[in-house]
Chain A
Amino acid sequence: MRRYYTEEHEWVDVDGDVATVGITDFAQSQLGDIVFVEVPDTGAELSAGGDAAVVESVKAASDVYAPVDGVVTEGNGQLEEDPALVNSDPEGEGWFFRMTLSDKSQLDGLMNAQAYKDFIADL
């Protein structure tokens, strides 16, 4: 399994043809207390850069974008009951959704852990 990162502060774990997507620890720390998460429905067709989910902190709603093209296979139902999981375990239990990968070559445009670390250091 490999982990990729986007400039929109999502992480993407790739296992075969399936990707698990969430927001990074940096993103949750910037958003603050998460009070609501809307994950996509199973079967939703996503395209890279398009709206995929919504995360709401106390102060604002933010869009979460699809990192690649694909079809949603599962949303994290736990976030409905406990949106604060995104704060406490953003890169683990706080995952948002799983999706198929329509075009694996799109992963080449994403960052690895070191590149993302450098990216946020410059923000």
Chain B
Amino acid sequence: MTETEFTGEEAVETATLPLDAWHRAKGGRMVEFAGYWMPIQYEGIMAEHLWTRENAGLFDVSHMGQLAISGDDVVAALEALVPGDLAALKPGRMRYSLLLAEDGGILDDLMITNEGDQFGIVVNGAVKWDDIAHLREYLPDDINLNHNEDYGLLALQGPKAVDALARLVPEAAGLVFMQTARANWNGHAIGLSRSGYTGEDGFEISLPNEALVAFADALCAMDEVKPIGLGARDSLRLEAGLPLYGHDLDEAIDPIEGDLGFAISKRRREEGGFPGAARILGHLEDGPPRKRVGLIVDGKLPVREGAKLFDGEEEVGVVTSGGFAPSVGAPIAMGYVPTGLSAPGTAIAAEVRGKRVPCTVAAMPFVPHRYVRKQGG
């Protein structure tokens, strides 16, 4: 029987990614995610999570959208839609940014790279079609937007990622965090960036669909590399304090509420000119009414997405992500609280199955980032 999901009146079939058979052969347990069949786990989330923190984990993130935008005045066109300083983004450099709705709400979070002749943008799989529609609507007609569906995206994350990847692509070792390069592997043109979604050192590698299996096999043949599923990807990013779009961020939340003020570059703060600038700059100035915070849970009971947060008897917020954190050894969560309750150390309670679970607001990340910011460093 064909698995389908119903969206409105039409039935949309869950799609397969180029590595589908590869995941299944590796023992991946496949689940529907963002419209695709993807591996939630292979040997187990806990083992995969800890492996990535110690060694190198290979993630298939080919569901994400890889876009390229070019044209005269492309910088101005993009800066009208996102709050990053793209004019100052040098060729070969990548920056985290946000696609903003007119009221300053977050439509998606994304990575933008200055590729010299164009800007490369990687967007979340779950909203990529909405992003493309938004970009087509708001970008001037003389700006080109290309959705590259001929390329897949892999992430190799963990302290041993650099050694493993450099055996296949020596250029990898020369990059620092948020730096990118074009390279060649077995005759295939590939893109590399030293970036990721785990808090560890690591890389994201864009390569032609027809090269994915051979590349994944070449990496997994190495002792330090194992394939890692979506389950560990989620627990790793949660420990790293990184928000997940559609859960920790959405259209009702602006970047300051989302604690992503770092993504509003200095020049853009001074000049404005991005969607929702009045609201966002106002929140920067006066503080937002609510804020995304980390929560450390007292005890062992996991506090998950949707749990209500209480200050005494008053309901004050909600958990947007949460679960057991393998590297912390305790449950942790992320959620929204009034700014007055957002200082680390503040006591707050989460409601789970009618019980109040004590939590403490905590600085994020929960597990220190280990990005490589300079060579030899």
B45 in contact with A59 (CB, 8 Å) = yes
A61 in contact with B302 (CB, 8 Å) = yes
Q: Does B198 contact A (CB under 8 A)?
A: no
Chain B residues with Cβ under 8 A from A33's Cβ?
A: 44-47, 324
Interface set, chain A 29-73, CB cutoff 8 A to B:
32-33, 35-36, 38, 54, 56-61
Q: Does A75 contact B (CB under 8 A)?
A: no
Q: How far is the CA of A71 from the CA of B67 in the complex (A)?
A: 60
CB closest residue in chain B, given A37: B300
Given contacts A58-B323, A59-B231, contact A36 B302 (CB under 8 A): yes
Q: Does A83 contact B (CB under 8 A)?
A: yes
Q: How far is the CA of A59 from the CA of B230 in the complex (A)?
A: 10
Residue among A33, A38, A54 with the highest chain B CB neighbour number at 10 A:
A33
What is the interface of chain B mostly: helix, strand, loop, or mixed?
mixed
Task: Tell me the minimal C-beta distance from B129 to chain A in angstroms.
Answer: 26
B231 in contact with A36 (CB, 8 Å) = no
Chain A residues with Cβ under 8 A from B63's Cβ?
A: none
Chain A residues with Cβ under 8 A from B353's Cβ?
A: 38, 54
B45 in contact with A36 (CB, 8 Å) = no
Chain B residues with Cβ under 8 A from A38's Cβ?
A: 301, 353
Point out the residue from A54, A58, A80 that lies within 8 Å of B324, measured CB to CB: A58
Task: Tell me the minimal C-beta distance from B302 to chain A in angstroms.
Answer: 5
Q: Contact string, B240-256, partner A, CB cutoff 8 A, digits 1/0? A: 00000000000000000
Q: How far is the CA of A57 from the CA of B304 in the complex (A)?
A: 12
How many interface residues does chain A have, given as a range? 10 to 19
Q: Does B41 contact A (CB under 8 A)?
A: yes
How many interface residues does chain B have, given as a range? 10 to 19
Given contacts A58-B323, A58-B326, A59-B323, contact A35 B300 (CB under 8 A): yes
Q: How far is the CA of A36 from the CA of B357 in the complex (A)?
A: 14
Q: Contact string, B41-56, partner A, CB cutoff 8 A, digits 1/0? A: 1001111010000000
Chain B residues with Cβ under 8 A from A36's Cβ?
A: 300-302, 324, 331
Given contacts A35-B324, A36-B324, contact A58 B300 (CB under 8 A): no
Chain B residues with Cβ under 8 A from A60's Cβ?
A: 304
Q: Does B235 contact A (CB under 8 A)?
A: yes
CB closest residue in chain A, given B324: A35
Chain A residues with Cβ under 8 A from B337's Cβ?
A: none
B44 in contact with A32 (CB, 8 Å) = yes
Q: Does B82 contact A (CB under 8 A)?
A: no
Q: How far is the CA of A121 from the CA of B353 in the complex (A)?
A: 33
Given contacts A32-B231, A35-B324, contact A56 B45 (CB under 8 A): no
B302 in contact with A56 (CB, 8 Å) = yes
A58 in contact with B304 (CB, 8 Å) = no
B324 in contact with A61 (CB, 8 Å) = no
Task: Tell me the minimal C-beta distance from B341 to chain A in angstroms.
Answer: 26
Interface set, chain B 23-55, CB cutoff 8 A to A:
40-41, 44-47, 49
Task: Tell me the minimal C-beta distance from A106 to chain B in angstroms.
Answer: 26
B231 in contact with A58 (CB, 8 Å) = yes
Task: Tell me the minimal C-beta distance from B314 to chain A in angstroms.
Answer: 25
CB closest residue in chain A, given B40: A59
Chain B residues with Cβ under 8 A from A54's Cβ?
A: 353
Q: How far is the CA of A28 from the CA of B235 in the complex (A)?
A: 20
Residue among B40, B231, B331 with the highest chain A CB neighbour number at 10 A:
B231
Task: Tell me the minimal C-beta distance from B228 to chain A in angstroms.
Answer: 13
Chain A residues with Cβ under 8 A from B235's Cβ?
A: 58
Q: How far is the CA of A54 from the CA of B302 in the complex (A)?
A: 11
B46 in contact with A58 (CB, 8 Å) = yes
Q: How far is the CA of A38 from the CA of B234 in the complex (A)?
A: 24
Given contacts A58-B231, A58-B324, contact A35 B44 (CB under 8 A): no
Given contacts A32-B231, A35-B324, contact A61 B44 (CB under 8 A): no
B300 in contact with A61 (CB, 8 Å) = no
Chain A residues with Cβ under 8 A from B46's Cβ?
A: 32-33, 58
CB closest residue in chain B, given A35: B324
Interface set, chain B 302-331, CB cutoff 8 A to A:
302, 304, 323-324, 326, 331
Chain B residues close to A by CB (< 8 Å):
40-41, 44-47, 49, 231, 234-235, 300-302, 304, 323-324, 326, 331, 353
Query: What 9 A-B pairs have minimum CB-CB distances, sorted nearest first?
Result: A35-B324, A33-B46, A58-B45, A59-B231, A56-B302, A58-B324, A36-B300, A32-B44, A36-B301
* 13 A–B pairs (Cβ distance < 8 Å), ordered by A: A32-B44, A32-B46, A33-B46, A33-B47, A36-B302, A54-B353, A58-B45, A58-B46, A58-B49, A58-B324, A59-B45, A59-B234, A61-B304
